Amino acid sequence: MKTICIGQIPQDHTRYLFDQAMAKLRELVTADKVGEYGEELTTAFIRELLQGGHAIRSRLLDKFNASLSAILFPAERRQKEALYDALLSQFDELIRNACKTIEDFKYIPIEAYTVGSDGIGYDPEVIGKAFAEAGNVCISHPSQVEVYNAAQKAIAAIHELDALAQKYGMYAVNKNNYRSIINIDLEMDTTIGVLGAKRVIQLNLFAVQQAYDGGLFNNPKG
């Protein structure tokens, strides 16, 4: 099926939430914190971390095992093992918290995340493109296309009607307004009220009557 993009939903609020998430990520993952695991906070590191940190964890295990293999005394080995287990546990928690921080932004490419002199950041160009694409509203199903085309025709007709109505001080469409050519309202069910309400779209006969130069709503004093 052919995909058609029919418009965009503004992403201003989502972008604001993303900036908040990035601020939280910067607080969570710092150069000092990363240094505790013998790692350096780089672009490669943060990208690995945000993808689950498996490669980093593997490096940590290799370092720990290499350190343990050089220990001769069992008591010392047990102490080191306890220390390394604690460090791994802390690192696993860091991974979980970091990934959770950006879990609502899975559509952001991992290539967007960078590290600079001021810590974790992002590539503005990549981020801008990602949010632009996230805001796209697209359709592909035949029934969606059918509704869209019908809506476009209806909107064009409403614009045309509105231009005519405004000549006489009225509107094309409104909710139960005596100046609107077409009224839209809800008709309540007599037994269950709003739960059984139906949308009613009807022609305002009185407004149509006033569509002339001397009409009631076209009178400057009216």
DSSP assignment of 186-209 equals: EEEETTTEEEEEEEEEEE-HHHHH
Query: pLDDT tens across 104-125, in order?
Result: 999 999 999 999 998 999 999 9
- Decide if pLDDT at 220 tops 60: no
Is pLDDT above 90 for 74?
no
Exposed / middle / buried, residue 113 (Cβ in 10 Å: 0-12, 13-18, 19+): buried
Token pair recorded at residue 204: 């305002």
Give the residue from 64, 67, 47, 66 showing the smallest Cα distance to 55: 47
DSSP state of 217: G
Give yes or no for a contact between 24 and 98, defined as CB atoms under 8 angstroms apart: no
Mark out the alpha helices in 30-108 (DSSP H runs). 31-35, 43-49, 54-69, 74-101
Contact criterion met (CB below 8 Å) for 180 and 171: yes
Structure confidence at residue 176 (pLDDT): 65
CA torsion through residues 132, 135, 140, 144, sign: negative
To the nearest whole number, what is the mean pLDDT of the chain? 88
Q: What is the mean pLDDT of residues 70-99?
A: 90
With a CB cutoff of 8 Å and minimum separation 6, the contacts of 130 are 107, 108, 109, 112
Q: What is the pTM of this model?
A: 0.70
> For residues 190 and 104, which has the higher predicted lDDT (pLDDT)?
104
162: burial class by Cβ within 10 Å (0-12, 13-18, 19+)? Answer: middle
Per DSSP, what are the bridge partners of residue 185? 200
